Amino acid sequence: MTIWLPRLDHDGPRYRGIAEAIAAAVVEGELRPGERLPPQRRLADALGVTVGTVTRGYAEAERQGWVEARVGSGTYVRDDRAGKPPEFLAARRAEDGVIDLSLSLPPPHPLRAESLGRALRGIAENPELLQRAVAYQPDRGVPAHREQLAAWMARLGMPTEPDSLLVTQGGQHGISLALQALTRPGERIAADALTYPGLIGAARQAHLKLLGMPLTESGMDLDALERLCAQQPPRLVYVTPDQNNPTGACLGEAERERLAALARRHDLWLLEDGVQYLPEAERGTPLHHLAPERTLFIFSTSKVLAGGLRIGTLVVPPPLQDRIGAALRAQSWMVSPLMVEAVCRWVASDEGDRLLAWQTEELGERQRLARERLAAFAPRGRPHASNLWLPLPNGLRAAELLTVLERRGVRASSAEPFCVGSEAAPQALRLCLSAAPSREALARALDIIVEALREPPSLPWQTL
């Protein structure tokens, strides 16, 4: 009997390629609703991969809603999608009643739209300013904008000189600019073994070899990094020292000094990401203060004002500024001055500071609420962070739990999107507490999560 074989055109991990191939086969009618997928061992032999790779691929396809595992029978294409176009869960808009904790967003507040509206109206009512806002600008941004953004960052406890700033189209753009300017295809870069998916995607686009460093409770395992440097130093190390995304691990002061010394000793570039905002009291000494000559620092309005603004900053050592500016010109010529002007007017008023003060207090309350409801499961996170890391009890699989939660009206993220390399993902969830529309909605979502965790006999992973 001829079995269905996926076409693995995926550049990333093989298990993700299997999941994408299943989705494509369902969309194209190659796999029909109710059809059984090949046994995992048989498919593994046919593809020349491990059984574990196929198992993870099937689990990812199930998480996305394409297939379902039936106890003692196998894995089948789901047949309950009649009248609904197949689509990945990540691409769907939240339906009514679904509490989405999968995206790291600022908590909703009416002041966001009101403040932006006032800033835009102020530009529209000033013809001279409006004309400047739609004219061509220098690649690094106009000096007045960089001065205002530097002043705002100083108020946030991130002092920097305006001349060192380059205005970007958000934090992701800052990552791409740094990789384009500092690396060449085929070179090695290092990051935490669990890290921001945007870095993983940018490294793949730049054809770089991304190496995952083990994580400890204090962030990146610097012993492992030092062993790597002794063999063949990477070109660049990407790090989120104040809170790893997704686990929330924080580098201590001694580790920061050691990392700066390692960078100098082995001639490494450091790419420090500070987009996941924390109040100053919860941050450590910035790497770009400890090793300013070899560190680029990324910041953005995304987690502070609004994600859709797509305005950020990149702190760049003087010798690199022309190179980074050239990379920006090659990509987009400049950042939209209209949006930069709107952001600058927003942060120059007291409304930005008031909004951030409210947000900090709100996130503190949401963290306390989540820690209280999930106390039995040892959640991890910083006191005023947007995200919470929830390791699952032994024997529970994140993919199946996500499926259960989705059916009960809660959306979250597993560790899979954050994994560097081919190491098995830990069984855990990242919960974006800030994304819930209210504390009341967050409390409902947390109750649903606790209920699912406390009902092991009814969950599919117990009988697989």
pLDDT in tens, 169-179: 999 999 999 99
In the chain, the amino acid numbered 353 is: D
Q: What angle do CA 430, 358, 383 make, to 5 degrees?
A: 40
pLDDT at 425 over 90: no
Q: Is the pLDDT of residue 440 over 70?
A: yes
Asked whether residue 7 is assigned to any structural domain, the reply reads no
What is the pLDDT, as a whole number, of residue 157? 93
* Mean pLDDT of the 116-130 span: 93
Secondary structure element (H or E) that encloses residue 20, with its range: helix 14-28
Share of the chain above pLDDT 70, in %: 93
Residues 6+ apart with CB under 8 A from 2: none
Residue 4 in any domain: the answer is: no
Find the angle CA(152)-CA(155)-CA(159) to the nearest 5 degrees: 85
Pair (67, 147) in one structural domain: no
Q: Of the given ranges (67-81, 274-288, 297-311, 358-372), which has the lowest mean pLDDT?
A: 67-81
Least reliable range by pLDDT among 28-37, 210-219, 233-242: 28-37
Q: Residue 198 pLDDT more than 50?
A: yes
**Same domain for 357 and 280:** no
245 and 372 part of one domain:
no
Task: Indicate whether 314 and 356 sit together in one domain.
Answer: no
pTM (predicted TM-score) = 0.79
- In this predicted structure, what is the pLDDT of residue 275? 96
> What are the Cα distances from residue 356, in Å, to 210, 266, 280?
34, 39, 12
Same domain, 80 and 229: no
pLDDT tens-digit series, residues 259-290: 999 999 999 999 999 999 999 999 999 999 99
Q: Do 142 and 194 reside in the same domain of the chain?
A: yes
Q: Same structural domain for residues 184 and 321? A: yes
User: Domain check: are 336 and 237 in the same one?
Assistant: yes
**Residue after which a domain boundary falls, among 301, 329, 349:** 349
Task: Read off the pLDDT band of 34 (50, 70, 90).
Answer: confident
Angle (CA) 168 280 250, round 5°: 85
- Could you give the percent of the chain with pLDDT greater than 90? 72
How many separate domains does the chain show? Answer: 3
DSSP conformation letters of 168-195? ESSHHHHHHHHHHHH--TT-EEEEESB-
- pLDDT at site 422: 67
pLDDT at residue 16, rounded to an integer: 85
Boundaries of domain holding 56: 14-89
Q: Can you give the pLDDT at residue 14?
A: 87
The average pLDDT across 403-427 equals 90
pLDDT band at 94 (very low <50, low <70, confident <90, very high): very low
Mean pLDDT of 151-179: 95
Query: Can you read off the two tokens belonging to residue 93?
Result: 């808009």
pLDDT of amino acid 463: 38
In the predicted model, what is the mean pLDDT of residues 71-91? 56
> Is 395 a residue whose pLDDT tops 50?
yes
170 contacts 296 by C-beta, under 8 angstroms: no
Q: Which CATH number covers residue 185? A: 3.40.640.10
As a whole number of angstroms, the distance between CA 419 and CA 201 comes to 11
For residue range 126-143, what is the model confidence (pLDDT) as tens digits? 999 999 999 999 999 999
Domain match, 430 and 416 both? yes
Within 8 A by CB and 6+ apart from 407, the residues are none
Judge contact between 311 and 301, C-beta under 8 A: yes
Q: In this structure, are residues 207 and 252 in contact, taking their beta carbons and an 8 Å threshold?
A: no
pLDDT, residue 59, reads: 87
**228 plus 341 within the same structural domain:** yes
Residue 81 has pLDDT above 50, yes or no: no
- pLDDT of 185 reads 92
151 falls within a domain: yes
- Averaged confidence pLDDT in the chain: 90
* Same-domain status, 418 and 454: yes
Long-range contacts of 360-363 (CB under 8 A, 24+ apart): 360/279, 360/384, 362/107, 362/439, 363/107, 363/433, 363/434
Residues 53 and 187 in one domain: no
Contact 194, 415 (CB under 8 A): yes
